Structure 1
Amino acid sequence: MKRICSSSDETLLALDAGEDCLATPVQFSEYTMVFVEEGEGLYHADFGAFPFKGPVLLFSTPLQLIYIEQQRACKMSMLQFHSDFYCIEYHKAQVACNGLLFNNIYIEPSVKMTEREARVFKHLLEELSEEFDITGCDEIVMRGYLQLLLAKSSSMKTRSSANLADPKERDEQMEHFRQLLDQHYLTLHKPADYAALLAMSPNNFTKRCTKYFKKSPSAMIQERLILEAKRQLHLTRRSIKEIAYSLQFSDEFYFSRFFKKFTRVSPQTFRQRTGISIVADLPQ
C-alpha cells in the first residue's frame, strides 16, 4: 500500500493494489473507491449486497461495513481518501459526487465501465501510483489526480444512470416510497407505515422494495436516519445532544445506542475518525 499520512499517522490518501484487500469485512475511516479491472462477485455494503462484473467501480462512505465476496478472481485496486485531504461537500462545484457516488441509499454504489473507460481509469491510477513514488510528492498534484478520478467517476455514473432509465425497469410505487421516506424518515419508522401510505400490503411492499433497492424497507428506513445523523456529525459543529434532538430522539443516549447498533461505533467516535468538515465553519 502507498500512503500519504497526517502528522499523527492517519491516512489522508492511499492506493492499494492488493487483490484480497477486501476479503474480510472492514470499516475504513476514509472514502473508498475500488476499481475492479476484471472478475466478478458480490459487493457487501452494510445491509446491501450488490452483484458486479468487471470492469466496474465500487464505492463506500466512511465507516460503512464492506467486503467483497469473489465469485471469479478479481484484479482490483483500492483508492482511499480522508475528508481532511479532500472534502467532497466543499468541492461539490468542481465534482458533484456527494449524493451520486457517496451518501446515497437509493442507488447501487457502483459504476459499470466500458473497456475504454477502464483503460483511461487504469492509466490515471498508474500515474497517481508513480506520484506516490516521488520523494516529497506534491499534495496539490495528488489532490488534482484524485479530483480528476472523482470527476470521471461522476460523469460515468451520470451517463450510466441515463442509459439505464428504461421505463420497464422503473417501479413507480418504489420511486414514490423514495419520496415518502425523504419526507417522513424523522417520524415514520415502521415499514407498515409506508406500506399503508402506498396502499400496499406489508408483504408485497417488502418484496417489491427488496427487489428494487436490493435492501429491505426496514434497512432503508434505518439507513435514511443514519445518513442524516452522519451528515450532521460531519458537516456541522452541533453537539451530540443537539443532533439527537434534531432527529427526534428522546435523548442523546438512546440516539447513541441506535447509531452504534447500526454503524458499530458511537457518534463521538464517528466524528473523531471522519473529522468535522471545513464546511461546518462556512457562513450559512
Structure 2
Amino acid sequence: MNKVFSDTGNVLLGLDHPEDNTLASPAQFAEYTVILITEGEGIFHADFASFPFTSPVILFSTPQQSIYIKETKPVKYVMLQFHSDFYCIEYHRNEVACNGLLFNNIYIEPSLKLSQGELDSYLQLIRQINDEFKQPDPSDIVLRAYLQLFLAKSSSIKIKSIEKQKVFKDEKMDLFKQLLEENFLTLHKPSDYASLLAMTPNNFTKQCTRRFNKTPSQLIQERLILEAKKQLHLTRLSIKEIAFALKFQDEYYFSRVFKKMTKISPQTFRNTTGISIVADLSI
C-alpha cells in the first residue's frame, strides 16, 4: 500500500490494491475511504445499513464507519483513503461539493455506478497517483490535486445520476425528510413522525424503507449521530457542550449512545479524525 504519513506517523493518504477482499469482515478507519470496485458484485455494509452493488462502482465511507463487503461474485477493487488533515472536504466544499453528496448523507446510497468509459478514466487517475507515489519525493501538492480531481469527478457524476433517476414521487417521505431535519434533536420515536404525517406506524415504516432503504428508527438515530460527528469534527466544543447542544441529559449518556452506534467513544472519534481547520475559521 502506498502511503503518505504525517509528522506524528498518522496516515494522511493511502492507495491500496488488495489481492483479496480485505473488507470481508467489519473494519473501521480514521480516514475517508473510497472503494473503486472494478470486478464482481456483492453487498456493501456501512454501519447498520446495507447496499447491493454491481461493478463497476465506487463506494464511499466516512471516518470510523463500520464497513465490510459481502461478495456474491468475487470482487476486485482499489481502496483510496485520505485523512481530513490532508484534505478537508468541508474546507474545500466550494471547489468540490462532495460533503453531503458522496459523504455524510443518510438519505442516499453511498455509491456511484460507473460506465465503462468512466471506469477507464478513474483507472487512469489511479495510475497517475501510483506514479506520483513512486517518485523519490512524492509531492503532497500533486497528490492532493489528484485527490481533488477524483472527488470532483465523482461529485459531478453523482449529481448527474441523481438528476436522471426517475425516483417515484412520494410527498409523504419528502415531508418526513424535512420534518426529521427540523426535529431530530427533540423527536426520537418513529411514532412521533408517523403522527405528524397522519400515517399508521406500519405504513410509515414500509414507505420509509422502500424510499430510503432504511427504517425510520435507523434514519432518526443516524441523523442524530451525524450531527454529533459534525460537532466533534468541525468545532472545538467540549464533549459536555456537544451533549448539551444535542439535548442529552449529560455527557455520560451521550457517550453511551454514541458508542453504541459507532463502537467508539466521542473522544476517540475526535482524537482519530482530528478537528477540522473549519473549527477555527469563525474565531
Deviates more, 1:134-143 or 1:202-211: 202-211
- 1:282 alignment counterpart: 281
Q: How much does 1:49 deviate?
A: 0.6
- 1:70 alignment counterpart: 71
Q: How much does 1:74 deviate?
A: 1.2
- 2:205 alignment counterpart: 206
Determine whether 1:46 maps to 2:50: no
| TM-score, normalisation: structure 2 | 0.98
- The whole-number CA distance in structure 1 between the counterparts of 2:207 and 2:15 is 38
RMSD: 0.9
| TM-score, normalisation: structure 1 | 0.97
- The whole-number CA distance in structure 1 between the counterparts of 2:3 and 2:150 is 17
- The whole-number CA distance in structure 1 between the counterparts of 2:255 and 2:172 is 33
- 1:8 alignment counterpart: 8
- 1:32 alignment counterpart: 33
Q: How much does 1:17 deviate?
A: 0.9
Q: How much does 1:210 deviate?
A: 1.4
CA contact (8 A) 2:57 2:112 kept: yes
- 1:120 alignment counterpart: 121
Q: Structure 2: which 5+ residue stretches go unaligned?
A: none
Q: How much does 1:130 deviate?
A: 1.4
- The whole-number CA distance in structure 2 between the counterparts of 1:73 and 1:260 is 33
Tell me the secondary structure at the aligned position of residue 27 of structure 1. coil
Structure 1 segment 94-109 matched on structure 2, within 5 A:
94-109=95-110
- The whole-number CA distance in structure 1 between the counterparts of 2:161 and 2:22 is 27
- The whole-number CA distance in structure 2 between the counterparts of 1:183 and 1:221 is 12
- The whole-number CA distance in structure 1 between the counterparts of 2:210 and 2:135 is 48
Listed one character per residue, the Cα deviations across residues 31-68 of structure 1 (whole Å, up to 9, x for unaligned) are 01100112111000011110111111100000011000
- 2:260 alignment counterpart: 261
Q: How much does 1:29 deviate?
A: 0.5
- The whole-number CA distance in structure 2 between the counterparts of 1:170 and 1:67 is 32
- The whole-number CA distance in structure 1 between the counterparts of 2:22 and 2:90 is 27
Listed one character per residue, the Cα deviations across residues 74-125 of structure 1 (whole Å, up to 9, x for unaligned) are 1210100000000000001110000000000000000111111110001101
Deviates more, 1:128-137 or 1:232-241: 128-137
CA contact (8 A) 2:234 2:275 kept: yes
Listed one character per residue, the Cα deviations across residues 208-255 of structure 1 (whole Å, up to 9, x for unaligned) are 111211111111100000000000100000011110000001111111
- 1:178 alignment counterpart: 177
Q: How much does 1:283 deviate?
A: 2.2
- The whole-number CA distance in structure 2 between the counterparts of 1:204 and 1:283 is 44
- The whole-number CA distance in structure 2 between the counterparts of 1:102 and 1:180 is 21
Q: How much does 1:204 deviate?
A: 1.1
- 2:150 alignment counterpart: 149
- The whole-number CA distance in structure 2 between the counterparts of 1:170 and 1:79 is 35
Deviates more, 1:15-24 or 1:107-116: 15-24
- The whole-number CA distance in structure 2 between the counterparts of 1:230 and 1:206 is 26
- The whole-number CA distance in structure 1 between the counterparts of 2:191 and 2:92 is 39
Work out the number of aligned pairs and report it: 282
- The whole-number CA distance in structure 2 between the counterparts of 1:110 and 1:210 is 18
Q: Letter of the aligned partner of 1:88 in structure 2?
A: I
Q: Letter of the aligned partner of 1:135 in structure 2?
A: P
Q: How much does 1:133 deviate?
A: 1.3
Q: Letter of the aligned partner of 1:9 in structure 2?
A: G
